[in-house]
Amino acid sequence: MAAAGSANEADRRFMAAAIRLSRRHLGLTDTNPSVATLIVRDDGDGPRIVGRGVTAIGGRPHAEAAALAEAGAAARGATAYVTLEPCAHHGRTPPCANALVSSGIARVVGAAADPDPRVNGKGYAILREAGIEVVEGVLADEAADLMRGYLMRSEKKRPEVILKLAVSADGMIGRRDSAPGKGQVAITGAVARRQVHMMRAESDAILVGIGTALADDPSLTCRLPGLEQRSPIRIVLDRDMRLPAGSVLVRSARDVPLLVTIASDCPSARRAELAEAGVSFLAVDVHEGHIALPELLDDLAARGVATLMVEGGAYTARAFWNEGLVDRLALFSGPAEIGAGGIASPIDPADTPQGFRLLREARFGADLYREFVRSA
């Protein structure tokens, strides 16, 4: 039986590199998390990466399989860095723990634990039983941070909700009575908007209220050069099915999936027309005039959504926030003022919201970005 083993500085460095690699397929691995594996060997002349892998687009093969294939015979006696506990189940691929054993790997350094009941400690146990030295939990929080949607969906059966909020210098998040076509108020600048597109690419779904869909006629796609194929499912909260067939959202429904959530008792007169354009529907209950958000989140998780980005508008943002459904707050503060007719932010942009902690802070052009996560 191998010793428990402990992590050293090089372990943390390679794990940090593996975690960076795991970002590559965020939002592209279906219900599977985007995991990375690095295989490192040291033949006396310093450590060298001989294999690297990331969970494939669509979720399979797993990261370990790709890294072992690249390493080939060089895996024998090497260390494998895995950002998630290697799987122990015969799913659509054989267990990665067994593949690591067969490869002759001598040591496995793992970051996050896998709550999937088919794994959940069994992966590490297989490795230990085979005499492999296992070190668990190295940079576990950093790895889990990138898999939080997967972890949330596995453990709580609902997606992680990221609220993107842009607050003006005078504390507003939008303007009231916005007429179609005239309602757009740019709070953030171009650099911050690119960051938002990156966040879209890394999410499974992006949601807006019908007010924003009517006022802005947005496309809600990721338009970063090279990442155009990474647009997530678009969701519109549209109790009464008011979304026009001529909207940019509906016209692009054949290219990027569009899900319209409607009241269960919504008359279906327009349904055929929108369905013809490629729109899908999700009927949800309405409580006191509003779509029941917790129920909607359950339904979305069941459909495989692990990370949901809520982009607005003001009412939708307030609803998610006030119902305590936000897990992560992506807060942009811009120098512009909205003035009369503004809708006040539910969050004071100068403070850390209660129950949250600041995860990172950055400047995008003239805008300040702060990301808060719910404290455990």
Point out the residues that are catalytic: 64
Across-strand partners of 176?
none
DSSP 7: -
60 binds ligand AOF (CB under 6 A): yes
CA distance 211 to 215: 6
DSSP 200: H
* Shortest spacing between CB 76 and Zn ion, in angstroms: 20
Stretch that binds ligand AOF, among 1-9, 81-89, 195-203, 336-344 (CB under 6 A): 81-89
192 binds ligand AOF (CB under 6 A): no
CB-hemisphere CA count at 13 Å for 217? 10
92 binds ligand AOF (CB under 6 A): yes
124 assigned ligand-binding residue? no
Rule CB under 6 A: choose which of 87, 100, 109, 296 binds ligand AOF. 87
Stretch that binds ligand AOF, among 13-21, 79-87, 130-138, 331-339 (CB under 6 A): 79-87
* Shortest spacing between CB 301 and Zn ion, in angstroms: 22
Q: Using an 8 Å Cβ cutoff, are 232 and 204 in contact?
A: yes
Q: Using an 8 Å Cβ cutoff, are 257 and 279 in contact?
A: no
Rule CB under 6 A: choose which of 5, 91, 189, 353 binds ligand AOF. 91
64 binds ligand AOF (CB under 6 A): yes
Residue position matching structure tokens 């796609």:
221
62 binds Zn ion (CB under 5 A): yes
32 binds ligand AOF (CB under 6 A): yes
3-state secondary structure of 364: strand
Q: Using an 8 Å Cβ cutoff, are 173 and 311 in contact?
A: no
Phi, psi (rounded to 5 degrees) for 51: -155, 140
Closer Cβ to ligand AOF, 93 or 352, answer by number: 93
311 assigned ligand-binding residue? yes
Number of residues that bind ligand AOF (CB under 6 A): 19
**CA Rg value for the chain:** 23
Cα Dmax for the chain: 73
Rule CB under 5 A: choose which of 18, 87, 166, 266 binds Zn ion. 87
The strand pair at 307-312 and 205-209 is best described as parallel
* Shortest spacing between CB 67 and ligand AOF, in angstroms: 9
Task: Outline where DSSP puts E strands in 242-376.
Answer: 258-263, 280-284, 286-287, 290-291, 307-312, 328-333, 342-344, 356-364, 367-374
116 binds ligand AOF (CB under 6 A): yes
Question: Using CB under 5 A as the criterion, which residues of the chain lie in contact with Zn ion when the complex forms?
Answer: 62, 87, 96
Question: Using CB under 6 A as the criterion, which residues of the chain lie in contact with ligand AOF when the complex forms?
Answer: 32-33, 35, 55, 59-60, 62-64, 84, 86-87, 91-93, 96, 114, 116, 119
- Residue ranges for the known binding site are 62, 87, 96, 166, 200, 212, 216, 220, 223, 311, 313-319
